[in-house]
Structure 1
Amino acid sequence: MTRKVEVVPHNRHWQSLFTDESQQLSIACGDNAIAIHHIGSTAIETIYAKPIIDILIEVKDLNKVDDRNMAIESLGYIAMGEFGIPCRRFFRKDDNSGIRTHHIHTFEVGLPQIARHLAFRDYLRSHPEAAQQYSQLKQKLAQQYPADIEGYMDGKAEFIKEIDNQASTL
């Protein structure tokens, strides 16, 4: 199934959607969860984003996440395993009409992927000019690749690397 690539203006409800979901996920993950973070573009108030809430869960033991798949799936998620990124557990959630609403990226505490995601988010939150450049790039790419998520993602890759490099020097 081809998914439409759409970016929309920031929705002030995204934060409360994250908060509600994180409370349920905290229960589903049990005491293995150390922290639950709102990441991705929906966590940056000033920019356009795909309307999908990205959640990063830090856990004590990644293998124990697999034991909690049923609890997480009971919240409407599909367990995808590593889904192309080693040492990650990925989950996705669609609404009743098949529209993607949430992604969960689960990593064991201390892995560099956690720091990278948080640094990227925090950099864009504290650098409005860079955030607007990213927002404009996302809008342009969504128009250029309306049915090609790979093209859209590839088009963002260089900018993301640049921000990652700048954020890592802070």
Structure 2
Amino acid sequence: MRLEIEQPRQSWVEDFAILKRAIMRAAPAGAYLHHIGSTAVPGLPAKDIIDIQLTVENLAEVSENALEQEGFERRSTVADHCPPGLDLAESELQKALFRSKGRPANLHIRERGRFNQRYPLLCRDFLRAHPTAASAYAQIKQRLAQRFPMDADFYYDIKDPVFDIIMDGANEWAKLIDWLEPPGD
């Protein structure tokens, strides 16, 4: 698959809203959604794939069959990467990953209060509040995709540590403003 970073689209917000309705029909009680990733940051170029985080109390509560009926197929139960210098328990990084069979979307299902559940929300909010950081991040993504359009593994090998650098600043910013997880989108 060719990596392509596209200019921001208003349709990403609308596409999230449509996907949200389908996901919430299949979600366990008490679950909630956030639009995450680059398509959730106004003005940020991104791959044309909507990333969504479903927060649940326990991954075991998720019905694969219910999500399948809503057009999502399970990809795997995986662990997110652990930033350098941190020693996190496997449970802090575990998630279930589903992909939409229709409009390109990734559904990341994570447990409430885990490190990996907070990480994409704080990163998204930090980039929304810091346009210079968002612009620099966009340049990195665009240049990586131009240079290595057919090598997604290499793209993520570079992009993940860049996120870790962004998150260092985001964590300081969160302390400064007393950032709290926002309610679901």
- Shared fold, TM over 0.5: yes
Deviations 1:86-109, CA, capped at 9 Å, x for gaps = 5211101243xxxx7000111111
Q: What is the deviation of 1:151?
A: 1.1
Which residue is 2:114 aligned to?
A: 111
Q: What is the deviation of 1:158?
A: 2.7
Which residue is 1:127 aligned to?
A: 130
Which residue is 1:30 aligned to?
A: 28
Q: TM-score, normalised by structure 2?
A: 0.82
Which residue is 1:145 aligned to?
A: 148
Deviant stretches of 4+, over 4 Å: none
Map 1:1-170 → 2, pairs under 5 A:
3-33=1-31, 35-65=32-62, 68-85=63-80, 86-95=93-102, 101-170=104-173
What is the total number of aligned residue pairs between the two structures? 161
What is the identity, as a one-letter code, of the residue corresponding to 2:98? F
Work out whether residues 12 and 50 of structure 2, in 8 Å CA contact, stay in contact via their aligned partners in 1.
yes
Work out whether residues 42 and 49 of structure 1, in 8 Å CA contact, stay in contact via their aligned partners in 2.
yes
Q: TM-score, normalised by structure 1?
A: 0.89
What is the identity, as a one-letter code, of the residue corresponding to 1:104? L
Provide structure 1 residue ranges, at least 5 long, that are not aligned to the other structure: none
Q: What is the deviation of 1:32?
A: 4.4
SS for the counterpart of 1:125 is helix
Question: Percent sequence identity over matched residues?
Answer: 33
SS for the counterpart of 2:42 is coil
Q: What is the deviation of 1:123?
A: 0.5
CA RMSD of aligned residues (A): 1.4
Task: Tell me how far apart the structure 2 counterparts of residues 109 and 158 of structure 1 sit (CA, whole Å).
Answer: 24
Work out whether residues 32 and 64 of structure 1, in 8 Å CA contact, stay in contact via their aligned partners in 2.
no
